[in-house]
């Protein structure tokens, strides 16, 4: 009995540290990427991440934006939800975390309404576009039959995702998404909303931009990270078309925004949100841990 009491007493400091470890000053809003969702058939896009953050004190909300749309239209949808979260919680600001196309989406909100945003964190974000989008745009001529077939297929997929995730009222525009994720589309977007970007490609941006918002980013540089993950072969294939290290869909340098937390993680594009179902590289940091650590980082900054 005394032995177990001693163990409990030794564990108390650890338990005390865990409690409140992710408790940020401002609520956290997670934003999905292309063909994403908040929850689909009971499965979270950010698999297990909202629960892990909430467990130790964070107030977490998961946005519901179009699976396929332009960065600006997704951003407008997100802005309305940010305003709703602020009204519900009584908070003054929000911490935004966006994955993939969610990166430009959160950047839009931080640029047009910086007074509502404490921080914007891009995870595997296509901040300078994706070489895969460039390849598709080069192979699929505007107005061609191939483009019409591709749009029909993408529209069907995004429609099913929206229906099953309870977001059937949201508009879908696969072509707008494709154009937004090309290098040229990203460049146009960056000219309008440059906050947080590095001065040069593959550099590091400011921790806090002139608009007062704190910017962060991280990404992986792996494709085939676990043979048990059925999606990995597809990401290994797409990753082979890149001219720089990548996570299968976004180049490492393209993901840079603000303070770059790390780009050496052995994670592919889905590992970054703990998919598929938490399967990731056996000898790499658990993706959920990165989100927990980041919430604590925001907490220490008073955000």
Active site members = 100, 247, 269
- In this structure, what are the phi and psi dihedrals at residue 65, rounded to the nearest 5 degrees? -120, 170
Residues 6+ apart with CB under 8 A from 78: 29, 31, 63, 65, 96, 105, 106, 108, 109
157 class by beta-carbon count within 10 Å (0-12 exposed, 13-18 middle, 19+ buried)? middle
Residues 6+ apart with CB under 8 A from 193: 104, 107, 108, 111, 112
Alpha-carbon distance 217 to 24, whole Å? 18
Q: Enumerate the β-bridge partners of residue 60.
A: 28
């Amino acid at each position: 009995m005394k032995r177990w009491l001693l163990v409990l007493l030794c564990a108390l400091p650890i338990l005390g540290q865990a409690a409140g470890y992710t408790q940020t000053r401002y609520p956290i809003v997670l934003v999905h990427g292309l063909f994403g969702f908040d929850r689909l058939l009971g499965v979270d896009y950010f698999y297990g991440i909202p629960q892990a953050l909430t467990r130790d004190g964070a107030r977490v909300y998961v946005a519901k934006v179009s699976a396929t749309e332009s960065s600006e239209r997704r951003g407008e949808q997100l802005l309305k939800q940010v305003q709703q979260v602020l009204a519900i919680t009584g908070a003054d600001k929000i911490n935004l975390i966006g994955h993939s196309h969610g990166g430009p989406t959160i950047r839009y909100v931080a640029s047009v309404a910086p007074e509502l945003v404490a921080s914007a964190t891009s995870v595997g974000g296509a901040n300078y576009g994706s070489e895969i989008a460039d390849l598709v745009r080069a192979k699929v001529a505007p107005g061609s039959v191939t483009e019409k077939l591709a749009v029909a297929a993408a529209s069907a997929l995004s429609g099913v995702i929206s229906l099953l995730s309870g977001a059937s009222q949201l508009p879908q525009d696969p072509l707008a998404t494709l154009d937004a994720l090309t290098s040229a589309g990203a460049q146009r977007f960056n000219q309008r909303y440059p906050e947080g970007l590095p001065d040069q490609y593959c550099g590091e941006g400011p921790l806090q931009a002139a608009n007062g918002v704190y910017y962060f980013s991280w990404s992986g540089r792996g494709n085939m990270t676990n043979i048990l993950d059925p999606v990995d072969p597809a990401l290994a294939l797409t990753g082979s078309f890149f001219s720089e290290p990548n996570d299968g869909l976004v180049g490492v340098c393209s993901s840079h925004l603000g303070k770059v937390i790390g780009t050496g993680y052995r994670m592919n594009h889905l590992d970054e949100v703990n998919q598929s179902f938490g399967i990731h590289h056996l000898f790499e940091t658990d993706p959920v841990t990165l989100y927990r650590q980041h919430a604590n980082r925001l907490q220490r900054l008073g955000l």
